[in-house]
Amino acid sequence: MYGGTVTQYGLTIGIFFSSLGVGSYIAKQFDETRPENVFRTELYLAFTAPAGLLFILWINTAAVPQLLPEILLALLARLPVVGIGVLSGFELPLLLALVKNLDSPSLSLRMRWMTNGIDRVINTLVGLLFHTSDSSSEYDTYSTVLAMDYLGGLISALIYVFVLYPSVGLIVSVFVLALINAAAALFFTCRFSSRSWGVLATENRDIITHEQTVVFIITIVLTATLGGAVVSYRTVDETLTEYYLEGNIEQEYPPETVNVEITTQFTTQYQHVVQYNRSWTGSSKNPLFSGQTERCLRLDTAIQVCDSTARPYHSGLVDVPLSMYPNTTDTDVLLVGGGDWIALDHLRRHNVSVDHVDIDAEFMRHAKTNPFLAEYHDDAYTYEHAQTYQADIYDYLQRTDTQYDVILLDLPGAKTDDLLSVYSTQFYRLLGDSLTETGVIATWGYSQYTYPAHQKAYFNTVSAAGFTQYQSYYAYDDYNGDGQAVRGERFYLFAPDTSRPIITPANGTQYVKKYRSQYESKQWHPIPTYRGVRPNTLFNPNYEMLIDTQRKQAPISDRFERLRNMTVSDLI
């Protein structure tokens, strides 16, 4: 629901169109003389759409479905698509039969002249490429209904993309579209009832007399319910989204150990922003953070920052690589992402020159005044030696001639194929072209022990982009307040050759000096490559890069033992 656009779109459209075919085939069994079939189709669609949405939410969050095999869950999640596709497949054959059985309305001379003129123009143009006929037939009815069907598809798509989704969001859009189906059902009730309805007045109205009263009452109730959901769209959206997201986040931990409460969530043009409190409810000592509850923020499905990780993560991302260069404005840094401004605050402490590029202006505006994030960025957006650009990083790198000593990648994790472009060879080639002769790239990365397939694809991708050397290190801190510092997030430094400086704790911040024993022995090493693993490219993506494709759910009885053996970086 939030991410994986290419994969989910392809699967959904393929399943939907095949289900349309099944529905069209089944429709031949219907009585073509009964317009009530159109009425019932719209009624069932009005019910199936929101019911299917709630079903998808349930199987992604409830405990019982999670015990089923992953492939079975994937099939169950697509049942609503099949149901809606089959029902939608009924519509066109039924509408064709309905139009065929109706008396053609009489047209005014002016209207007939216009339609005949349009037909002549189209006939002439089409005749340049195809064999045409001036005679009319039943095929005219089919073509007209089909044309209206396709035109309606275009209009609805435009309304969804430019009106519904931006104004009411993903979930409520389903209720709006279902309401349209319910309204269509009621329209057919009016159009074909035994009672005259003003401009809809005509002969042979019989839908009420041929349809069960209880079905008509159900339609009225369903329409009113959907209308109420649309009117209260903010409450509906927040309630269902929070239910979905809270359940998904809680499932990342062993059962009955973490409780999640969403405090803020909204969708920008580029991502879904979720802020929440996570509380430790397990019977053992909390291994994640000190205290009972802490605040966290996610972008789409990838966790970005928590109270326990905000400072050590950014010290690892910024302070460690900056110990390799002079802390003056002569050191040029490119910060990619980092719309929460926290990385920029750490860069400000080094007094370096910064170009900051993030695509999401709405999130950056939100982060400026968000109380949680403000505690960690300290109004870093006012730093006088930083220039922030709201831009796509591909476009920015292709336009700029600036060469950077350090490029910091503060980007979301590779959890959906929406993010594959910033884990591609093309992206890293552009980054390499923007490095000085002694420049490096610094980024966080997943553990090779937790996601081995991802790391193999990632290293082969970076290597194919022209990088030959790397260093790896961890951030350290006392995350859970027990007085012992442990390793947290993992980071990588990449360079195209060996003529690069090394981490120098003596030149670093207090954080780097505190953990100098962990950093002073770091050296450059050749990037390992793996046979049989394709690099990830823009037009030939390697889906092994996505960590969710490799995740194997451990049996419930094994998860507590796995939790005890995890490092903090695995947990966060």
Q: What is the pLDDT of residues 45-96, one digit of tens each?
A: 999 999 999 998 888 887 777 678 878 888 898 999 999 999 999 998 988 8
Could you tell me the CATH superfamily of domain 308-571? Vaccinia Virus protein VP39 (3.40.50.150)
The pair of structure tokens assigned to 280 is: 């430790």
Span 370-379, mean pLDDT?
96
pLDDT at 524 over 90: yes
Give residue 204's pLDDT: 53
The pair of structure tokens assigned to 186 is: 């009621």
pLDDT at 304 over 60: yes
Q: Helix, strand, or coil here: 411?
A: coil
pLDDT at 260 over 90: yes
d(CA 202, CA 543): 58
pLDDT at 551 over 70: no
Per-residue confidence band for 321, with pLDDT thresholds at 50, 70 and 90: very high
Strand order in the sheet with 486-495: 386-390, 353-358, 332-337, 404-410, 435-445, 486-495, 469-477, 525-526
Per-residue confidence band for 104, with pLDDT thresholds at 50, 70 and 90: low
Give residue 31's pLDDT: 86
Comparing 370 with 568, the larger pLDDT belongs to 370
Question: Residue 371: CB partners within 8 Å, gap ≥ 6?
Answer: none
d(CA 232, CA 296): 28
Span 146-166, mean pLDDT?
88
**Mind listing the pLDDT tens digit for each residue in 413-468?**
888 887 889 999 999 999 999 999 999 999 999 888 889 999 999 999 999 999 99
pLDDT at 314 over 90: yes
Cβ count near 486 (within 10 Å)? 15
| Residue 335: closest CA among 408, 264, 273, 252 | 408
What angle, rounded to 10 degrees, do the helices at 165-191 and 233-250 form?
120
Give residue 1's pLDDT: 62
d(CA 62, CA 39): 34
Per-residue confidence band for 202, with pLDDT thresholds at 50, 70 and 90: low
pLDDT at 559 over 90: no
Q: What Cα–Cα distance (Å) separates residue 103 from each residue in 90, 136, 201?
A: 22, 16, 13
Asked if 394 contacts 427 with a C-beta cutoff of 8 angstroms, the reply is yes
pTM of the model: 0.79
pLDDT at 269 over 80: yes
d(CA 421, CA 395): 13
The mean predicted confidence, pLDDT, of the chain is 86
Q: Hey, which of 6-20, 123-137, 493-507, 534-548 has the most confident mean pLDDT?
A: 493-507
Q: Hey, which of 127-141, 195-209, 354-368 has the most confident mean pLDDT?
A: 354-368
Domain boundaries, the chain: 5-237, 250-299, 308-571
Span 504-527, mean pLDDT?
94
pLDDT at 171 over 80: yes
Give residue 375's pLDDT: 96
Q: What Cα–Cα distance (Å) separates residue 137 from each residue in 1, 105, 141, 144?
A: 46, 16, 8, 12
Asked if 355 contacts 335 with a C-beta cutoff of 8 angstroms, the reply is yes
pLDDT at 223 over 90: yes
**Mind listing the pLDDT tens digit for each residue in 24-50?**
999 989 987 777 888 899 999 999 999
